Amino acid sequence: MNASKVRLFIKPYCGWCHKAIRWLDARGVEYEVLDVIADGAAYDEMVRLSDQDLAPVIDVDGKILADFGPEELAEFWQQLEREQK
């Protein structure tokens, strides 16, 4: 998958967030991590993009997946790959 910008909004104590990081790392995906607890602007942006305050939220070139686990992330990623073909 060729994404130009991948951003992952996380809360440091969130188990799902750490699973998302491991999932992306295992696939060699380059991404930016935004800690919404330490960064109020990142929190506000996460809420604006996802219409909720739960983490993780991933933004892949403007496509948003909110409050997900590894299975949902895999499905989302596969859908993005299909759309790219």
Q: Could you list the pLDDT tens digit for every one of the 85 residues in the chain?
A: 677 899 999 999 999 999 999 999 999 999 999 999 999 999 999 999 999 999 999 999 999 999 999 899 999 999 999 988 7
Given CATH 3.40.30.10, say whether it is the number of domain 6-84.
yes
Among 68, 9, 63, 5, smallest CA distance to 34 is for 9
Range list of β-strands (E), the chain: 6-10, 32-35, 57-60, 63-66
Q: How far lies 40's CA from each of 22, 26, 33, 46, 51, in Å?
A: 24, 29, 14, 10, 16
Domain spans of the chain, in order of start = 6-84
Kindly report the backbone phi and psi dihedral angles of residue 39, in degrees, each rounded to the nearest multiple of 5, phi listed first: -125, 105
**pTM higher than 0.85, yes or no?**
yes
